C-alpha cells in the first residue's frame, strides 16, 4: 500500500514536518506501507506556475499523481492567519476534484499557540470534506507548548491507528473523464501529464448524446 504525506512547513527543520513524521510513524506501526513525503515548499514555484499556465510542471504533476494514487493521505499545515497556509490551500486547489474521493485522510496542523487548536475542525476538515475525502475523526493539532506534553503522543498514536484501520488498496477510481484531461484547473483538474493514463473510458458515444438531445 502507499501512504502519501503532504507537509506544508516552510522552515527547516520544520515542526510541521516533525508532526507529519510522527503521524507517519504512528500509521506505519500498524500497516505495511510505502511512504512518500511531499514537501510543498519544494513545489512552491511550480504551484504558482500551474495557476498561471493551467497545467502542472513535471514535478508538481508527479506529486499530484502520487496523492491521487495513494491509499492513505496525511496532510499537515502550519497555521497562518487563523487557517491553513496559502501554499497548502493552493496545492489542494490544483488537484483533480475527484482525486481524494473516498480516500482516508489524516489531518494535522501546527501553530505557536494552543488558541488555534480548532483550525483542524474549522479549516482543514471542511476543505477535505468538500473534496469528498474520508476525513478521520482524530485530527492532531500541535502548539509549541504541546511538544513537551504527554497528551500529544497519545493523540498521534490514536490518529495513526485510525488511518491504518481505514487504509485499503485503492479501488476503481471514480474520476470524471472530462476533468481528468483538462489542464485548466481552476476547480481542480489535471493530475497527470502521463499520456498512458488515457481518458477514453467513460466517454459517451456520440450517437447516445445526439439521441438524448432529440429525446429519443
Which spans of this chain sit near other proteins (rule: CB under 8 A)? 48-49, 51-55, 57-58, 177-178, 181-184, 190, 193-195, 197-200, 203-207, 209-210, 213-214
Instruction: Name which of 172 and 204 has its Cβ closer to other proteins.
Output: 204
Instruction: Name which of 59 and 115 has its Cβ closer to other proteins.
Output: 59
Instruction: Name which of 150 and 207 has its Cβ closer to other proteins.
Output: 207
SS3 string of 151-181? Answer: HHHHHHHHHHHHHHHHCCCCCCCCCCHHHHH
**Which three cell numbers, joined as nine digits, stand for 51?**
495557476
Nearest approach, Cβ of 130 to other proteins (angstroms)?
21
Rounded-to-integer distance, Cα 98 and Cα 173, Å: 9
Which residues lie below 8 Å from residue 105, measured CB to CB, with a gap of 6+?
72, 73, 74, 75, 128, 133, 134, 135, 136
Nearest approach, Cβ of 92 to other proteins (angstroms)?
19
Instruction: Name which of 51 and 130 has its Cβ closer to other proteins.
Output: 51
Burial of 193 (0-12, 13-18, 19+ CB in 10 A): middle
Nearest approach, Cβ of 210 to other proteins (angstroms)?
6
Which residues lie below 8 Å from residue 196, measured CB to CB, with a gap of 6+?
none
Check if the beta carbon of residue 189 is closer than 8 Å to that of residue 176.
no
Instruction: Name which of 45 and 154 has its Cβ closer to other proteins.
Output: 45
Nearest approach, Cβ of 180 to other proteins (angstroms)?
9
Nearest approach, Cβ of 100 to other proteins (angstroms)?
21
Nearest approach, Cβ of 183 to other proteins (angstroms)?
5
Please name the residue that has the C-alpha cell 482516508: 104
Residue 3: name the closest of 104, 139, 99 by CA: 104
Instruction: Name which of 153 and 212 has its Cβ closer to other proteins.
Output: 212
Rounded-to-integer distance, Cα 87 and Cα 10, Å: 9
Amino acid at each position: 500500500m502507499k501512504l502519501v504525506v503532504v507537509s506544508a512547513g516552510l522552515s527547516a527543520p520544520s515542526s510541521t514536518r516533525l508532526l507529519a513524521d510522527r503521524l507517519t510513524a504512528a500509521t506505519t506501526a500498524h500497516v505495511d506501507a510505502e511512504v512518500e513525503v511531499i514537501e510543498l515548499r519544494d513545489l512552491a514555484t511550480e504551484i504558482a506556475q500551474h495557476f498561471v499556465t493551467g497545467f502542472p510542471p513535471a514535478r508538481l504533476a508527479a506529486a499530484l499523481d502520487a496523492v491521487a494514487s495513494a491509499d492513505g493521505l496525511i496532510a499537515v499545515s502550519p497555521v497562518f492567519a487563523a487557517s491553513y497556509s496559502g501554499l497548502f490551500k493552493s496545492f489542494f486547489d490544483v488537484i483533480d476534484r475527484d482525486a481524494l474521493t473516498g480516500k482516508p485522510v489524516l489531518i494535522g496542523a501546527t501553530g505557536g499557540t494552543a488558541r488555534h487548536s480548532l483550525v483542524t475542525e474549522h479549516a482543514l476538515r471542511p476543505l477535505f470534506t468538500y473534496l469528498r475525502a474520508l476525513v478521520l475523526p482524530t485530527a492532531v493539532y500541535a502548539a509549541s507548548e504541546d511538544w513537551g506534553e504527554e497528551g500529544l503522543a497519545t493523540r498521534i498514536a490514536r490518529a495513526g491507528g485510525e488511518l491504518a484501520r481505514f487504509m485499503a488498496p485503492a479501488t476503481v477510481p471514480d474520476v470524471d473523464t472530462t476533468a481528468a484531461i483538462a489542464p485548466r484547473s481552476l476547480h481542480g483538474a489535471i493530475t497527470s501529464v502521463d499520456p498512458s493514463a488515457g481518458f477514453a473510458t467513460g466517454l459517451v458515444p456520440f450517437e447516445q448524446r445526439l439521441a438524448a438531445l432529440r429525446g429519443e
